[in-house]
């Protein structure tokens, strides 16, 4: 937090995630595998209006296409 100029670009949450990711990437190889999983955010969301669901949007688009997107439920 030496230069708090990041505040004009990021929220505190984003700043925390950046520092956490930096720490995870500096671990030894043996620890890193378990730690990288913690950095993964897999989220899909969908807006509903008048009883109809809209398009399902990935928060972090997967690199490889997953196939036809079917709702989990």
User: Among residue numbers 18 through 57, which ones bind another protein (CB under 8 A)?
Assistant: 18-20, 22-29, 31, 35, 38
Given the rule CB under 8 A, which of 4-12, 46-54, 63-71 is the region that contacts another protein? 4-12
Considering the complex, what minimum distance in angstroms separates the CB of residue 66 from another protein?
26
Q: How far is CA 65 from CA 38, 48, 55, 58, 69, in A?
A: 22, 24, 16, 11, 9
Q: Which residues pair with 53 in a beta bridge?
A: 48
Output 10 or 58, the one with its CB closest to another protein.
10
Output 7 or 66, the one with its CB closest to another protein.
7
Do 20 and 27 contact (CB within 8 A), yes or no? no
Do 46 and 57 contact (CB within 8 A), yes or no? yes
Kindly list the residues in this chain that would bind another protein in the complex (CB under 8 A).
1-3, 5-6, 9-10, 15-20, 22-29, 31, 35, 38
């Amino acid at each position: 937090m030496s230069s708090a100029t990041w505040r004009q670009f990021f929220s505190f949450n984003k700043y925390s995630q950046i520092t956490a990711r930096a720490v995870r990437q500096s671990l030894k190889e043996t620890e890193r595998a378990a730690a990288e999983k913690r950095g993964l955010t897999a989220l899909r969301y969908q807006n509903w209006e008048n009883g109809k669901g809209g398009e399902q949007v990935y928060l972090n688009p997967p690199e490889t296409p997953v196939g036809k997107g079917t709702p989990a439920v």
